A and B are shown apart, each in its own frame.
Chain A
Amino acid sequence: MAQQREQDDFRSQVEDRLDHLFQEDSPEETEEYVGLGEHPLKNLKAVLLSIDWEITDSTMDSLLNEIKSVEYVYAEDKIILTFLQLLGSVGRYVKANKGKAHPEATRVINSVYEALEKAALTEGISRAEKEKMLLAEVAKFKKLKELVMLRKAEKKEPAVPPVKPPPEVSPAPVPEEKRIPAAETPVQVQREMVVEEAPVREEKETAAPGTPAREETPAEARPVDFRGMAPHEAFAYALEEIKSMILAEFRALRAEIKLWRESK
């Protein structure tokens, strides 16, 4: 009885302390957010949210299809259309490379979508502001392209027997009307970025016949079943995972430093 009372007392003291420590005195910063409702972007957002690290053909196909649908809706809005083309370009690259796509790609997809949603939903946003946002996303896209090319170049460095050069790659199969029309606005100046040098082309080259396949690191390999494994074996696997991820991070970091130096 006394023990129970003491226990209750202890518990209530913990509760009081937690209430004091984590009192949410200031109301939540409730941003006036306008939900998507039946907005054409609703499905696109749902598909984007459903893309996990374990990227599948079906999720990426849904994304690309959804982008096409929204492109149709915004056919007259060049800025939104360019956002969508950026999304489509990175989406095709991720689809072609799946888990081996550059990790920055998913970040660029999310960033482009956020900017797109803001540009499409914010009431009273000026064209200049939209263009500014778009240019920022285009810069991220270009940086991603450089990272992808650098990574590809790094992979080619190891001494491997010479292979036949990959076949000539034709420009990405995008209908002429989907290209951004050449003209005066800052947005239109960016036409070459969207499709013609899309990262997906780079990866197509990588995957060309005769090109050595990329070596799969242990962390990128299929998940191992640990249930029947001794703890020391599981530990060794974990260490391998961490090691290979750190190596991958260093590779990406080196590539960024190289880029930064070049830009200086």
Chain B
Amino acid sequence: MAIINLKKKQVQAKIVYYGPGRGGKTTNLEYIYKKFRTRIQTEMVTIKTHGDRTLFFDFLPIDIGKIKGYDIRIQLYTVPGQVKYESTRRLVLRGVDGIVFVADSLAVRRKENVLSLKSLADNLASYKKSILDIPLVFQYNKRDLLDEGIPLLPVEWLEKDLNSKLKVPYFEASALKGPNVVQTMKKIIILTIDSLRKDLT
């Protein structure tokens, strides 16, 4: 749930990057942080395991500045992708306002994408939120691997598997190299702010 302080005219929204393990959630945040570090002027907090995997979450706050008198702050989070951290993912989703689902385009990850999306729906339901209502954007990550001849899932398959009912915006991206990482983030911020607008009037 966004923190909206009408008296101080402050809005703080929480956006979570969700998806299967090793899909590129942390890499998304790292790309944004490295590329725009001097402009966003905040620190990225990340807690990794010894094996370089996300232990609890990554956190990147972004100050958008004042818009129509409101001071808008966005908090980007990732969840740990490994299957065994289901309860941690659930905790990170608490109070979420918008979600980027980072799907892994590798052909061998088809099942993991579907299972992860299902777990997202279940975890949101535990907070009485519906995946059909929450601002959501899909990112089909690792598309750059196509150039290397690595077998990837065609976007049509990803759309059919994940987005046929939800019909939300999607981006083909490469979190490692950058294409559409920023576009994904911009889209989810706009959708999230839009959904919060009614509380600001």
A224: chain B residues within 8 A (beta carbon): 86-87
Docked CA distance A17–B51 (Å): 37
Which secondary structure dominates where chain B touches chain A? helix
- B197 pairs with A238, CB closer than 8 A: no
Residue in chain B with minimal CB distance to A252: B50
Determine whether B171 belongs to the interface, using a CB cutoff of 8 Å to chain A: no
Is the C-beta of A46 less than 8 angstroms from some C-beta in chain B? yes
Q: How far, in whole Å, are A243 and B51 apart by their CA atoms in the complex?
A: 17
Q: Does A104 contact B (CB under 8 A)?
A: yes
Give the CA-CA distance A241 to B51 in the complex, in Å: 16
Complex Cα distance, B74 from A121, in Å, reads: 42
**A226 and B87 contact, Cβ closer than 8 Å, known pairs A14-B64, A28-B177:** yes
Does the CB pair B106–A15 fall under 8 Å? no
Annotate B186-201 by CB proximity to A: 1 below 8 A, 0 otherwise: 1001100110010011
CA distance A126 to B148 in the complex (A): 24
> Is A227 part of the binding interface, using a Cβ–Cβ cutoff of 8 Å?
yes
> Would you call B182 and A24 a contact (CB within 8 A)?
yes
When the two chains form their complex, are residues A219 and B84 in contact, meaning their CB atoms are under 8 A apart?
yes
Contacts of B20 in A (CB 8 A): 52
Stretch at the interface among A30-38, A70-78, A189-197, A201-209: A30-38
Contact among B40, B67, B149 for A37, CB-based, below 8 A: B149
- The reply to whether B50 and A13 contact each other, CB–CB distance below 8 Å, is no
Q: Are B82 and A17 touching (Cβ within 8 A)?
A: no
Q: Tell yes or no: A223 within 8 A of B by CB.
A: yes
> B108, A50: Cβ atoms under 8 Å?
yes
| A interface SS class | helix
Q: Which residue of B lies closest to A236 (CB)?
A: B87
Within 8 A of B (CB), among A1-20: 3, 6-7, 9-11, 13-15, 17-19
Interface contact A52-B90, CB-CB below 8 Å: no
- Contact across chains for B87 and A241 when beta carbons are under 8 A apart: yes
Residue B85 interfacial (CB < 8 Å): yes
In contact, A107 and B52 (Cβ under 8 angstroms): yes
- Whether a CB of chain B sits under 8 angstroms from the CB of A242 is yes
| Contact indicator A22/B51 (Cβ below 8 Å) | no
Q: Complex formed: what's the CA distance from A19 to B183 in Å? A: 10
Beta-carbon contact of A242 and B55 below 8 Å: yes
The 25 sampled A-B contact pairs (Cβ below 8 Å) are A15-B190, A21-B65, A22-B185, A35-B149, A37-B148, A37-B149, A42-B150, A52-B22, A53-B53, A54-B83, A103-B51, A104-B51, A107-B51, A222-B84, A223-B84, A223-B86, A226-B86, A226-B90, A226-B126, A234-B87, A234-B90, A238-B90, A241-B84, A241-B87, A245-B55
The 5 closest A-B pairs by CB, nearest first: A103-B51, A238-B87, A50-B108, A103-B50, A35-B147
Binding site for A on B (CB under 8 A): 20-22, 32, 35-36, 39-40, 49-53, 55-56, 62, 64-65, 67-68, 72, 82-88, 90-91, 106, 108-109, 112, 122, 126, 145, 147-151, 177-179, 182, 185-186, 189-190, 193-194, 197, 200-201
Residues of chain A whose beta carbon lies under 8 Å from any beta carbon of chain B: 3, 6-7, 9-11, 13-15, 17-19, 21-22, 24, 28, 33, 35-38, 42, 45-46, 49-50, 52-54, 103-107, 219-224, 226-227, 231, 234-235, 237-238, 241-242, 245, 248-249, 252-253
